């Protein structure tokens, strides 16, 4: 299984966390999963001093790998790896050129799973017709969200092969989100028992305010959105920036498509 360009061309700031979810084959067993390799693309280059000085190096501080696998009618969660560096030394340093080789430097990090783990949690693998839940964490930057009757936030999920649209309105409950604050919440998605996470086409975050003079602008520096149902989780949005989006009267939506 190969996941290409997982950062989708985006910059990953220092001390940031990124999460990726990929479906496993239906008939897989945990011992089938042998190794993981993290490869930094375009990792080689010339020995030109100018090119080398401008090249991008990258420190991998921590790597956690989790597999949710159905076994005997139960969904079991296996932590395959939970690795991190020691002190100031990263878990692995991806370098442009191998000028100063070290034991944790290069362009490919390889890890072989030890297969001595046990399932940490179990949940029924058969759907029980429960609604999905949406979790979000949103960090406001240097321009607040006013809240009140007009300036609020909706999250909309649209499906690829179904006309069903799931809308969570006013997720801030009309509350003002002040500058440089972070808010987290878990909300039930009504009428979502039949939601197929693999069929999700896009998620939209929308500021409900209007335009013109006096319109509310809002800076978002961090956003994480996921959905969960019957032990299965899908991450819909996970971004950090300064800001990742400035909502204005002319730009009221942030959309992630799959």
Q: Is residue 24 part of a domain?
A: no
Q: What strand order describes the sheet that includes 105-106?
A: 58-60, 92-94, 105-106
Same domain, 141 and 253: yes
Selection from 252, 156, 254, 253 nearest residue 209 by Cα: 252
Is residue 46 situated within a structural domain? yes
Sign of CA dihedral 101, 43, 80, 121: positive
Nearest to 139 by CA among 245, 215, 8, 9: 245
Considering Cα of 238, then 153, then 249, then 203, what sign does the dihedral take? positive
Q: Which domain holds residue 79?
A: 30-124
- Is residue 81 a part of any domain in this protein? yes
102 and 185 fall within a common domain: no
Tens digit of each residue's pLDDT (9 = 90 or more) over 161-174:
889 999 999 999 99
Together in a domain, 155 and 241: yes
Residue after which a domain boundary falls, among 124, 152, 167: 124
Q: Let me know if residue 156 belongs to a domain.
A: yes
Is residue 16 included in any domain, yes or no?
Answer: no
Please tell me whether residues 73 and 152 are part of one structural domain.
no
Other C-beta atoms closer than 10 Å to the C-beta of 187 total 13
Q: Are residues 119 and 44 in the same domain?
A: yes
Q: What is the pLDDT of residue 171?
A: 98
Q: Which residues does 192 contact at the CB level (< 8 Å), separation at least 6?
A: 131, 132, 166, 229
- Say whether both 110 and 145 belong to one domain: no
Domain boundary among 101, 124, 147: 124
Helix (H) or strand (E) run with residue 50 in it: helix 49-54
pLDDT score recorded for residue 43: 46
Domain tally, the chain = 2
pLDDT in tens, 31-90: 899 999 999 876 444 445 445 556 678 999 999 999 888 776 667 888 899 999 999 899
Q: Which of 98, 124, 150 is the last residue of a domain?
A: 124
The CATH number that applies at residue 209 is: 2.60.60.20
Give the global pTM: 0.56
Q: Is residue 5 part of a domain?
A: no
Q: Do 168 and 119 sit in the same domain of this protein?
A: no
Average pLDDT, the chain: 86
175 and 229 part of one domain: yes
Q: Are residues 120 and 137 in the same domain?
A: no
- Positive or negative torsion for Cα 133, 134, 137, 138: negative
pLDDT score of 127: 45
């Amino acid at each position: 299984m190969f996941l290409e360009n997982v950062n989708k061309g985006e910059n990953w700031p220092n001390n940031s966390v990124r999460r990726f979810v990929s479906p496993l084959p239906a008939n897989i067993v945990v011992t089938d999963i042998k190794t993981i390799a993290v490869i930094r693309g375009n990792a080689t280059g010339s020995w030109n001093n100018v090119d080398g000085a401008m090249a991008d190096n990258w420190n991998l501080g921590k790597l956690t790998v989790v597999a949710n696998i159905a076994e005997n009618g139960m969904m079991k969660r296996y932590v395959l790896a939970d690795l991190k560096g020691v002190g100031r030394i990263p878990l692995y340093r991806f370098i442009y050129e191998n000028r100063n080789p070290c034991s944790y430097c290069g362009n490919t990090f390889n890890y072989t799973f030890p297969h001595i783990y046990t399932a940490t949690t179990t949940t029924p693998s058969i759907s029980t017709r429960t609604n999905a839940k949406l979790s979000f964490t949103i960090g406001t930057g240097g321009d607040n969200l006013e809240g009140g009757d007009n300036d609020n936030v909706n999250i909309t999920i649209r499906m690829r092969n179904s006309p069903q649209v799931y809308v969570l309105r006013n997720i801030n409950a009309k509350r003002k989100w002040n500058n440089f604050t972070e808010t987290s919440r878990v909300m039930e998605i009504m009428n979502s028992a039949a939601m197929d996470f693999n069929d999700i086409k896009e998620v939209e975050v929308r500021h409900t305010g209007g335009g013109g003079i006096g319109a509310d602008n809002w800076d978002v520096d961090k956003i994480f959105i996921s959905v969960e149902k019957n032990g299965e989780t899908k991450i819909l949005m996970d971004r950090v920036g300064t800001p990742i989006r400035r909502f204005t009267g002319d730009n009221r939506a942030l959309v992630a498509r799959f």
